[in-house]
Every structure is written in structure tokens, then in C-alpha cells.
Amino acid sequence: MRIATWNVNSLKIRLPRVEEWLGYARPDVLCMQETKLADAAFPALAFEALGYRTAHHGDGRWNGVAIVSRVGIDDVVDGFCEGLEADTDTRLISATCGGVRVSSVYVPNGRGLEDDHYAYKLSWFDRLRRHLEATADPDVPVAVCGDFNVAPEDRDVWDPAAFVNSTHVSAPERQALAHLEAWGLEDAFRLVHQEDKLYTYWDYRAGDFHQHRGMRIDLVLVSKPLAEKVTFAVIDRNARKGKLPSDHAPLIVDTAD
């Protein structure tokens, strides 16, 4: 099974690139983030034409998450169901695809260490853990895929010195990610690759992509039954090149069976 995740930074403008990419990457499941679409505007027909069924959770201008699957898509849940009030944003959608409980997540950016959005980010991680506790089981196949807006380790950013007192690398954020993983998830990319300087996101500004100034913040987290079957993982940097790219590259993870 091939699972992929891609922050597309507006599906409206990115749809041609996504269609092209699906044509050659052919994932069984693709999780997308930052569609920036309302549900009524989601281009379901374009995906169905390529053999994918779809689920989308969005409210228009910001955020928005989707799962498209050619191995079935059942039991779709929008947002959290850990028993608290609804999230203010559309940042989570879950579905069962080919026997795997898949979630597409767009973790809040945080903006700054003193910003209210940073507290929202930390609480969001806690809610995601509680959501998994309430709805899933780490002993069955689970894949939590998306833009986590956290670089797990210093080797996941182009220059740790450039991120002092910044979001994405702070100890509380890394601890929040680690606490999520402690539920029973592993970073599938790191099961395959140990090298540094492998990134999934590069700022549009200042030629960061060409200067290799990036961050690895897009992850596929898998439960043990999937982790044991991971055979391949790659960040498709080619999708960050060319005309009208997203500022994120897609991440692909393959598992046996």
C-alpha cells in the first residue's frame, strides 16, 4: 500500500499539479492539507476521474484537509471526537482506507512562542492524542499523515541556529509531538532514512528551495502493525520544482501487502 501526504497550499490553484502527480506517483491514499476550499467547492469529480474516492473537511478561506483513496473510503469523521467542543478550524479528517485508519492533519502553525496561536497549537496536539485514544487502537493499522508544523529534531532543519526562539523547533512542540507518538506511532520516513538535510518544506522567499534551506515538518506516523511493513519512503522534491509549485513536497510511504 502506498500512502502519501502533501500540503498543497490551495487546491484551487494546485489541482493541475496534484492531478499530474497522482498520474505518476499513483498512491493508494493521498492526504492533503491547506486545500483552502469549502466542501461545496472541493473538486471531487477530478479525483473520481482518476479512480479516487474523496472526503474533504473545509470551510473556505483557510485550512481545509482531504483524503482521496482508490482502496475505499469508509467511516469518515470530520474533526475531533474526543468529547470536547468542536475545533474552531478545519484541520483534521479521518477515514478507513484499505484496512488502515487514516487521518489527514494540519497542525496549527503557532506563529510565535508568545502568541495565543502557539498555545492553540500545543492544545491541538493534546486533542489529537485524545482523539486517537477515543477512536483508534495502536495495535491495528493506523496512519496519521500531514503537516505537523514541527521539525522533530535539529537534523530536520537547515540551520538550527536560525530557529532559536522560533516555532517548529521549541521543546514544548517537540514534546507534544513525542507525546502523540507515545500513543503508539512511529515516524515512517525515519524507519527508512537516517540522513540529515532531507526536507519537505521550503519557504517561497529568498530562493530557499534552491539554497536547500528547508524543514522536515510533513510526516507519516504509523502504528506498529504498519511500521513493521514499511518498505520504502521518499520525499518527491521534483514536485516542489517547476510551474506553480506548493511550498511543500509530497511524502510517500510504501508498506508491504
Partner DNA sequence: ATGGTCGAGTATCGA
**Which parts of this chain interact with DNA (CB under 7 A)?**
9-10, 12-14, 36, 60-62, 108-109, 111, 117, 203-206, 244
Q: Are 219 and 181 in contact (CB under 8 A)?
A: no
Q: Which is nearer to DNA, 15 or 77 (CB)?
A: 15
Least CB distance to DNA at residue 204 (A)? 4
Ramachandran angles phi, psi of 65, nearest 5°: -135, 150
Least CB distance to DNA at residue 134 (A)? 26
Least CB distance to DNA at residue 219 (A)? 15
Q: Which is nearer to DNA, 36 or 56 (CB)?
A: 36
Q: Which is nearer to DNA, 100 or 105 (CB)?
A: 105
C-alpha cell at 44: 471531487
Q: Are 98 and 28 in contact (CB under 8 A)?
A: yes
CA 70 to chain centre: 18
Q: Can you say whether residue 34 is alpha, beta or left, with left for phi > 0 and alpha for psi between -120 and 50 degrees?
A: left
- 218-222 and 214-215 as β-strands: parallel, antiparallel, unpaired? unpaired
Least CB distance to DNA at residue 73 (A)? 24
Q: Which is nearer to DNA, 27 or 245 (CB)?
A: 245
Least CB distance to DNA at residue 65 (A)? 13
Q: Which residues contact 159 (CB under 8 A, 6 or more apart)?
A: 213
Least CB distance to DNA at residue 40 (A)? 13
Is residue 205 packed enough to be buried (19+ CB in 10 Å), middle (13-18) or exposed (0-12)?
exposed
Q: Which is nearer to DNA, 204 or 232 (CB)?
A: 204
Q: Which is nearer to DNA, 74 or 203 (CB)?
A: 203
- 142-147 and 100-106 as β-strands: parallel, antiparallel, unpaired? parallel
Is residue 10 packed enough to be buried (19+ CB in 10 Å), middle (13-18) or exposed (0-12)?
middle
Least CB distance to DNA at residue 13 (A)? 5
In DSSP notation, 152-200 reads SSGGGBS-GGGGTT-TTS-HHHHHHHHHHHTTT-EEHHHHH---SS--S
Q: Which is nearer to DNA, 42 or 95 (CB)?
A: 42
